[in-house]
Structure 1
Amino acid sequence: MEAAEEAPLVALPQSPELSSCPGDISPCDLTILHFNDVYDVDPSPEDPVGGAARFATAVKKFDFLNPLLIFSGDCLNPSVLSTITKGKHMIPILNELGVHFAVFGNHEFDFGVDILEEYMKQMHFTWFLSNVYDRFTSEPLGHGTVKKIIHWNNIKIGLMGLVEEDWLDTLATVNKSNVNYKDYVEVANEIAIELREEGADLVIAMTHMKWGNDTRLAQRAEGVNLILGGHDHDYGIRKVNETWIVKSGSDFKTLTKIDIRLFGASFQYVFEKVDILSYLEEDSHIKAIVKDFTQNIQYMLEEVLCPIDMELDGREITVRRSESNLGNLVTNAMLEATRADVALLNSGTLRSDRIHPVGNFTLHDLLAVLPIVDPVLVVRVTGAQLLEALENGVYKYPALDGRFPQVAGIQFGFDPDAEPGHRIIRDTVKVQGQYLQKKKIYLLAIKEYIANGKDGYSMLKSCPRMFDTETAQVLSTVVMNHFESIKILQGRKKCLSGHRMSLITTTSKSPSLTAFEEESNKPSSIIAVPGIEGRICHISQDMKEHLHQLRTERKQGLRTFPTISDNTSENSDSD
């Protein structure tokens, strides 16, 4: 993550006029309070403790300044409470805080466009999105506002909301082909001109993108005075050319107070970092909102995610020793969300240790399976690294070890009697229906935990990541979105926006081949829960000898392995 250069933070002088005359805007003409990326509403143990209730107290201390409260995105997910409420608890919290304007963050779309648009109707402020358009409606995605001029303390302020293209690739519930992205610099320049023509004195870009892209915006966008950013979780203030960029941390732990004075055609800025410390009292209204949601958790856990027509085997004795349909369900959802080539899940992730019966699969059931907030990343791996990861996965078999892999997009056989580290039978390994090549690069969907080299998967620790944790989907949310799409296809739920997560269809060609639904597919080709497909199998001594014979004959040019089709023949280079 790129480090931010912090500007000197200067506290406002406390003058009698300022404190005793709330209606008088001297000595500053405008005060803005800014924050971004808030997930956990409860305080942490150490200062700055944060927490939504103390944050509200800090915000309200500045009410006499008539501040403009701006939020730069990401509030609906991820957190433990958001998994249960689908982020709904943030509606009354942000309303009570008095947010005036916001820009969409990537996690606003985690539960789908339909949910977001439903929530927006209940929020007392305006969401912006100026450079991503919905191909279904020709309107901004999520019906965000493109631009707006407001009059605040006799200053005309022009607003826009900009995002980077990178996180559009990570939206599981929105297919990128269904949106039209426009470069944020180009759009900023166009809108800034329009806002100036409409009389704006000050032009503010609310953004949700990384430091590098905010810097590029400041360098190349003419007419933007101030960039109020999100997406990065580190606090920082930076001046690029004549434009200030502000990022205000995360999780209700800090906010930025920006005092602005207008001198003719120019502005003077004074920035103050406000830490949310433990000595602050908790706001009673926000505290009551959080308490109300937490007390109703049991009721919310009864929500039916989807009826299932086969048992889901989550027993440790199954998931930590063999392929399981529960593992196939979760890893399929990982591919549906990321469009990676392969998904690999350490079976220790699956925590219910029981068989889930036919019938209604509830949110309680899902959180019994996946109780931890696990970000799903995509990394670039070579075939050789993938083989090494599989070897690690079966290294401790038959011990009930959490490293044992559940997979999608790949199939493999292993000899449980062979020496650990030499158990994978390489000529059984196929990725997307083709024999694995050691030098080929594959996209692998894994948890952040595995990407950090845990459970023995050290070979994946140095693999390049396609996106960072801040952008990642949460594993439990990914499975919820799988079931949401199933309900839509089954006619149990309407999809008003047209956006949802695409699903993997059933195929008999190869256990490793994942085909995604097309518009021509019938709903019957989509199933809520996959069965046991032969993704993982034990290889006997007789089978090893047969495979060795086939390999020898192939090398001599006498025979080739059967392939999916005549034009997709591809030999393993596992030697």
Structure 2
Amino acid sequence: MSKVLNELGTQCAVFGNHEFDFGLEVLSERVSETNFPWLMSNVVDNETGRPLGDGKITHLLDWHNKRIGLVGLVEREWLDTLATIDPEEVTFIDFVQAGRSLGKQLKEDGCDYVIALTHMRMPNDIKLAENVDEIDLILGGHDHNYDVQKVNGRYIIKSGTDFREFSKITINLDEPNNPIEVNRIEITKDIEEDIAMKEILDSYLGTIEGKMSEVLGTFTIELDGRFSQIRTAETNLGNWVCDVLLAATGADLVILNSGTFRSDRIHPPGDFTLGDLVNIVPMQDPTIVILVTGQQILEALENSVCKYPKTEGRFPQVSGISFGFNPEAEPGNRIEPDLVRIGDEYLVRDQTYKLATKCYLHNGCDGYIMLKNSPVIVNEEECPELGLAIQNHFSAIQMRQGKSRRLSKHRQSLVTLSRRHSLVKSMEGNEWEGGPSPLRRGSLTSPSLSIHHHGYSHSPSPPSSTHHFHHYHHKINRRASFDDLEQQTCQLSPKVQNRIVKLTPQLRQEMLIDRQRLEDESVIQEVDELNNSPLGSFDHS
């Protein structure tokens, strides 16, 4: 991006959260390649005593015989999202306090106009405009939508994301109150191509274009990666990626922050390329499997929805788990604990579960501090990086369909353990006509077992030839059923499955009734299995 930003004629910038994705050393290298200053006016690195990222506190521009002062302000919230920065090792200065102090200083130093470059959500930009008269204009980032608002007599201008739009801002500094005109410019194919910029892009694209056009697979349905959806609700793209990670790790559940998904678009049906994958998960995301309690899961889910309906990156996409939340409930009570299910079972607070997630969340980022000290079962060196797990998933599909030849038949699993367990449970009771499933009650069919009850002794008879036939027949059926599950996965048609439900009072009551019905049916099934067991058919007199 350095060459691109230089070519654009950038005169000043403020650091945002993603500038720190690869650490301070890489950031320093990239900054040294740019020919303009970077600001960080209200975050201090405790180690150096200087602004984080070695940014400048203020910058002055002489523009048409006018002196323009600039400050760069950020919000506290995204400091918690920095995977490479320890929030406890930096000092955050409230942006209102910093803006007021620095704006006053710049005006006293002779500035005719003060502009705040910010990387904050709109509510914080509004707070800044409402409380700091020393700042004349706010040019904001972090939000990914175009927005212009006038608050307390000053403009807040958000110019979108990914160079889809620009703002042409005209300020008349010779008239009272410095009137401003804002024109939105949308970038379309009708705009004449910039030759110098094209040469820069071609120098990069030439080396990666061939690789990025590689087709990984073919989807039969569109994938929804829009921020407006994936950061506020379950989407089929989120389900699919989480399912892939769950199958790759063998964990009980997956929780990913929706900030993982960066494409902000609907991906149409058809060929899915490596370029599409990079657009969705452009960052190297190491994953990890940790051991967590049911209570920690509840706390993680509470954090995940605490900013709803804001399009925050902490909102979850999940696999192996379903839950309901009430955004109107009091903080700490948005999740209905009695409706959280891990696989086919309802969550138990003191039970432990294997959670696959990103190291980013295990580090406590995006507010997931409840995961920070959880014991690691599979570390990042042994877990697949998220993008690699997805590529391996496509390779496994190719092998499953016989479209690629490998030296080994080993491949990444296509079906999650929870789906396999659900299949096994659905087949139980059908494999033995005269007894329980050995998968659930293997100890009861042990040949050496002897049961004593009121002085009576019963030892099960040796299995008959019919018994062996049913066992063999069941293994064939189960293998065929697993094949069906894998074949469904190969079709690449992920769906929304009510894993994340926004609760209303009526829906909550209906779901609680369903839970009670399922629990009652489970008790009846357990009793029926015991009564139908050869071990249960003896005289109780």
The structure whose RCO (Cα within 8 Å, separation 6+) is larger is 1
What TM-score do you get using the length of structure 1 for normalisation?
A: 0.46
When Rg is computed on C-alpha atoms for both structures, the one with the higher figure is: 2
Identify the structure with the greater helix proportion: 2
